[in-house]
Amino acid sequence: MATNDYLALINVSLGGAIAGVSALLTSYLSNRHDRAKFERERTLVDQTHRRERVGDVYLELLAFLRRQLESVEGPLDGRKPESVPMEQHARVEALTRIYGSAEVWRLLKMYYLVLGGLNGIDREDVDSRRAQYKKMEALVNAVATQIRIEMGTVPDGSSLRVKKRRRYRRQIDSWEAAT
């Protein structure tokens, strides 16, 4: 009888040990799964916040460029120019450097080069000033198109995407070659 008691005790102990190991293994795998799920969710939230921030920066950049374009257009139409504060220049430039893509940054630098060329033209030479203004306007449109492409508001196969990008690219390349 004593042997049967020992065997029963061993069976119960082994069953308990197997159940304990099974519970530990289940808990460990569940924790790993939960941690992986948490990491995926956190990454997704971080990407969403970054995309929202980039969208806000691009919105501010486009608003700034439009205001500046209007300040240049004013004297061409005989209106008094409204200058854009230097703090706003610095802020938009810094935000674009931090959050903007290389292409948007390149287009912004081109815009500043054309703007600098406008400042060197005599105020009485309206035709040359209008030509510079047209270049600035095309660059603002190129920036807007690039931002739409980056933010995914233009479908990949869209003819708008391909045609506008090619047109602006040709214009900008010809200006870069001329400078």
Q: Please state the domain extents for the chain.
A: 53-178
Nearest to 104 by CA among 177, 54, 53, 152: 54
- What is the predicted pLDDT for the residue at 118? 74
Residues 6+ apart with CB under 8 A from 172: 107, 110, 138, 139, 142
Chain centroid to CA 133: 27
- The pLDDT, as a whole number, for residue 92 is 87
The pTM of the whole model exceeds 0.75 = no
What per-residue confidence (pLDDT) applies to 96? 87
The stretches in the chain having pLDDT less than 50 are none
